[in-house]
Structure 1
Amino acid sequence: MRVTINFDDIYEVYPMIGEQDNKRFYAPQKDGSIRELLVIITEYPDPDLPNVFNLGFGPPNDDGGFIDNVRLWHKNLNKVFSTILFISLSFLKQHPYMAIGLDGSDDLRTRFYHCVLKQNSVYLKSYFMPFGIDWYVRIFRNGSYEQNPDGSYIDRPLLMDFDSNRENRDLYRYYVFILR
C-alpha cells in the first residue's frame, strides 16, 4: 500500500481544549462515517533521549487519550498521514530544538510507518532530518554486559541516519525527526 505525503492536502486541524500542542481532525471512512482522530505529542520518558517528544494518534478513548491499536478504513490515507505529519512539522516549528519520535503499537504498524517514511523520504527530507533509533547493550572487553545494580542490562539508544534502503524486515525501534 502506497501512501503519498503532501502538506498542501491535509484535513482541517483543531486544537484540543486546554492543549497547545495536541490537535484533532476528522477523517472520512470508507463506510461513509467520519472518525475523530487525536494527535497527542508527549515528552518521551527516556532520559537518554532528551528533548524528544512522542507522536501518538488515533480515535479518542474515554480517558482523554486515544486508541492506538484500532483498525480504521480511511477514505484517504494519504490525507490522514499528511495531516499527522503536518501537525508534527508545526510542533517542531514552534519548538525548533525538540525532536518528534514515532513507533508503532505493534510490528505491523511499525512496518507500515517504515514503508511510508521510505516511500516519502525525498519529500520529507525537505522538511525533516529523519533518524532511526535502535537500542544496544554495551559489551565490555571481558565479555560481560553493562548492568544496573539489580542485574538488568542497561540498554541505550543508538541514533542513526534514516536509511531509506533499509529493508522492511529490519525495522528501527523508534523513528525520530528534527526540523531541517
Structure 2
Amino acid sequence: MMTIKIDFENTYPPVNLNHDFSTMTFESPQMDGSTQLLLVKIDHKHDPFLPNVCNLGFGPPGGNDSFIDNIRLKHADIHKVFSTVLFQGLSFLELHPELTIGIDGSDDLRAALYHRIFRSNKTYLRPLFNSIGVDWYVRIFRDGSYEQDTQGYYIAKPKPEPFDYKRTRHDLYRYYMFTLNRTNVFRD
C-alpha cells in the first residue's frame, strides 16, 4: 500500500480559483506525459444531521460545474495532487472557520486511501486540522423496533467522533471530516 505524504509547501498552482475558495482547477501531470485538468469543489452537504458540513470532492471536470470522481488516473505525483486538494480545503476553512469539510470516498478503495492519508499524516495535519471520523447508525428502540421515517425507511444518522488513528483499513469510517484547528494554525 502506497503512503501519501501531504506537504502544503509542494502543491500545484491554481488555473482558476473562485473568490470564496469553493472551487479551483489545477493541472496534474500524468504518468504518460499528458496533463489532466482537475476540479476541486467544496459545497454544502445540506444534511440536517450534519449541519455546517461542506463536502470536498475532486476529479476531471464533468460539465455543469461538476466533476467525475469514479475515473482512475495515473498522476505523476500523487502526493502533490492530494496536497493541493487538502490545501484547498485548508484555504476554504480559513475563510469559513465555522464550517466543517467532509470527504466521502466514491468506493471502498478510495475510502481506504483517505483513511491512510489521515493516519499517515497525523503529525503533519494535527496542528492544522481536527480530524473526525463518521459512522452511521439506525436507532433501535427498547421494544426492538428501529426508527423509521413516514414511508417506513430506516433513518440513518451520522455519529461523528474524533478520528481514531488505531482503526485499520479493515474498519473504515463512512465519512471523513475535518475542521480548522484554531489553536495551532500556522501560515505565512
| TM-score with structure 2 setting the length | 0.92
Aligned match of 2:41 = 40
1:45–1:105 distance in 2 versus 1, CA, 3 Å? same
**Amino acid in the other structure paired with 1:79:** K
Is the contact between residue 21 and residue 88 of structure 2 (CA under 8 Å) also seen in structure 1? no
**Number of residues of Structure 1 aligned to a counterpart in Structure 2:** 180
Aligned to 2:82: 81
In 1, Cα distance between the equivalents of 2:12 and 2:19?
21
After superposing the two structures, state which structure 1 stretch, 69-78 or 14-23, moved more: 14-23
User: 2: distance between equivalents of 1:71 and 1:176?
Assistant: 23
Query: Secondary structure, in 3 states, of the residue corresponding to 1:146?
Result: coil
Deviation, structure 1 residue 13 = 1.7
Inter-partner Cα distance in structure 2 for 1:94 and 1:65: 22
RMSD of equivalent CA atoms: 1.4
- Find the counterpart in structure 2 of residue 55 from structure 1: 56
Structure 2 unaligned blocks of 5 or more: 182-188
Distance (Å, rounded) in 2 between the aligned partners of 1:125 and 1:13: 25
Residues 111-156 of structure 1 show CA distances to partners (whole Å, capped at 9, x for unaligned) of 1111111111111111000000111111111111111122111111
Q: Secondary structure at the match of 1:130?
A: strand
The runs of 4+ residues in structure 1 deviating greater than 6 Å are none
Which residue number corresponds to residue 71 of structure 1? 72
Matched residue, 1:153: 154
TM-score (norm 1): 0.96
Pairing 1:14-163 to 2, within 5 Å after superposition: 14-16=15-17, 20-163=21-164
Q: Is the 8 A contact 2:20 2:92 kept in 1?
A: no
Whole-Å separation in 2 of the counterparts to 1:167 and 1:72: 25
Q: Which runs of 5+ in 1 are unaligned?
A: none
State the distance in 2 between where 1:20 and 1:111 align. 26
Amino acid at match of 1:128: F
Structure 2: distance between partners of 1:138 and 1:31: 50
Tell me the CA shift for residue 16 of structure 1.
Answer: 4.5
